[in-house]
Every structure is written in structure tokens, then in C-alpha cells.
Amino acid sequence: MRSVLALMLAMIMTSLAGAAPLEWSTAEEIPEVKSYYGEIEAAFFDGSLHVLTVNRDHRIFHAQWTDGQWAAPVQLAHHRARMVPAVVACNGTMHMVTNPGSFKLNHIVWDGRAWGPAQGIPDMLSGRPVSITAFGGVIHTAHKGKSSDDKRILYSANAGWGWGHSVAVPNQKARSNVALAGMKDTLHMVHVGTQGGSLWHSSRDQWGEWSTVVQVPGVETGRIPDLVEANGRLYAFYTVGTPKMNTQATVAYSVFEDGQWLPPVTIEGYVTYGRPVVTKESNLPLRIHLLLPTKQGVLHMHTEGEVTLAPMPVKTMKLSN
């Protein structure tokens, strides 16, 4: 009886206290990497962290972090993009979706040595960066509609034999791009609504049905969020409040576990000038990596120890800029 009561008490304390704050490594600036528009993208592939950026001339740069060391960023000779590409690892290769101009989207594959030719994606047009994720051997993508007035969220997938038709997610609209992550057999999506800075969450089951959209409690943000799954939990990272891009904003995250969102945890004493980007390692110990654009460049840090939740008071972590 005591053990049952203790378990119930622990569950209540966890719900009230929220997520135990993640412990981070020392933040370090990535050498020679700049975020000209406050946006970057990253993915883990073949034991390395890969970071993509775009400069003012629409040239794409690719930097790699392996065994704690950064290699100098390399310019992609044959590819350009109007905005930062989306990138994900799937089925032994790394995949990039770019917007070269005129709202068109291209799909480019990295085999571990070089980027292949660009292949146009039919039936997909976007005026904003797209979001992609992969699980179950399938690449999933979602993006806002083509024009600034088109607030629809359009979804498509590639199971290895080509892209499916874009389909509007029912009863959901977004002011900017969305964030995707897979967990178990479900695709999860978060996005900022068309009014105010509320963050909304929905999911797509294995039969292709989208859930009712629900609001993530306690969150107001004006920039594109990012989403990652780790150890059976979802972590949504976002900026606090609605400041304009390229101005200071505090970073926070919320954790989704057992069907509910826990209270936000703020990383105090630190600001970013863009949007936070997160990804996780593909092998143990499954660390989460966080990248934050600053005025000078891009900072990189990763979690230390096991990513977990605990019934403890919410604390915040101070990082120096």
C-alpha cells in the first residue's frame, strides 16, 4: 500500500513540478559558421552532427562536428537556396530539401561523401522553409502555403519511391513554418497560430488521421519552434515572447509526456537572435544538441547525462552570452 501511495505522490509531484531542467555542456561558438538570417538547420548522420546555413548570396554551407571537433564549413558548389534548407537522416543517407527560388522545392541526397543532384519535388510549393523528419523509414515534410496569405499547413511524405501529393492538414493554420518529430508510431507537429503567439500541437497516427489541435500551455512565441523526441518524450524549444527576428529573445522548452505538456522551463541569462534548433544523436547516449544563432555566429551545446524527468522543483540554467 505504501509503495502505491508513494508512486501516486511521485506522479503528482512530477506533474506539478514540471520537467527537470536539462543539464548542458559548456556553450561554444562554432568556428566560421554564421547565421545570416537567424536560421540554421542540423541533423545527426553517421556519428556526426551536420549543420547547414545559407549566406546573403544564397550559397549553402555545410559544417560537421565529429568527436567533439568542428571541420571547416564547405560550400555546396552546385546548389543554392533562398532560405535555410531542411535536413534529416533516413535509411543510411542524409536528405536536404531546399527552396532555390520561385517557391519550388528540391530534394538532394548526401551519401556520406558528396551531395547528389537536385531533384524537383512535384506538387510542392512554399514561400517559407519546410520542416522534415524521419521515422519508420519514411521522410515526412510539412510547410506553410505558398503565399503570405495562404496559412494552410501542407503535408507530404516520401517512403523511398517518390513524394506523395501535398495534402492540407485539416482545421489547422499557421503564421509561419511548423516543426515535426516522430515518436513511436505517431508524427507530432507544433506550430505558431495565425493570431498571437500561442503554440499549438497535433499528431498524425499510423492511419493518416490528424488529431484535434491543442494549445501548449504557458507558451507565447513569435518565432518558428523546433521539436525533438528523446527517450519517449517530446521536447519543444522556442523563444519567449514575440520579439522580431534578429533581436534578442530568451530560450525555453516544454516537455510532452504521457499525453500532457509540462510547464515551460526557461534558460535564463541567455538570448538568441534567431530561432533555436535541436537534434539528437542517432546512437547512445542519445544526447540532445541545441544550436542558437547569436549576433556573432552560432553557439552549440549538448545535454550531459541521461535525458530524464524527475519530481523536483523547476530550476533554470544561466549561460553566459
Whether 39 contacts 275, CB under 8 Å: yes
State the Cα torsion 29-32-37-43 to the nearest 10°.
-70
pTM summary value: 0.88
**CB atoms near residue 129 (< 10 Å):** 25
pLDDT of residue 183: 93
pLDDT of residue 19: 58
Cα distance between residue 266 and residue 253, in whole Å: 7
pLDDT of residue 321: 32
Total residue count of the chain as it appears in this document = 321
Cα distance between residue 244 and residue 274, in whole Å: 9
Residues forming a β-bridge with 111: none
**List of domains in the chain:** 31-302 (2.120.10.70)
Cα distance between residue 102 and residue 125, in whole Å: 8
**CB atoms near residue 289 (< 10 Å):** 21
- Distance from chain centroid for Cα 171: 23
Name the residue type at position 106: N
Residues 6 or more apart in contact with residue 211 via CB below 8 angstroms: 202, 203, 204, 205
**Selection from 301, 275, 88, 293 nearest residue 199 by Cα:** 275
Whether 165 contacts 184, CB under 8 Å: no
Count the helix, strand and coil residues of the chain and give each as a percent rounded to the nearest 5: 5, 50, 45
The angle formed by the CA atoms of residues 251, 259 and 314, to the nearest 5 degrees, is: 40
The helix or strand, by DSSP H or E, that contains position 7, with its residue range, turns out to be: helix 2-17
Phi, psi of 75 (to 5 degrees): -80, 135
The low-confidence residues of the chain, meaning pLDDT below 70, are: 1-20, 284-285, 306-321
Cα distance between residue 86 and residue 36, in whole Å: 16
Whether 86 contacts 41, CB under 8 Å: yes
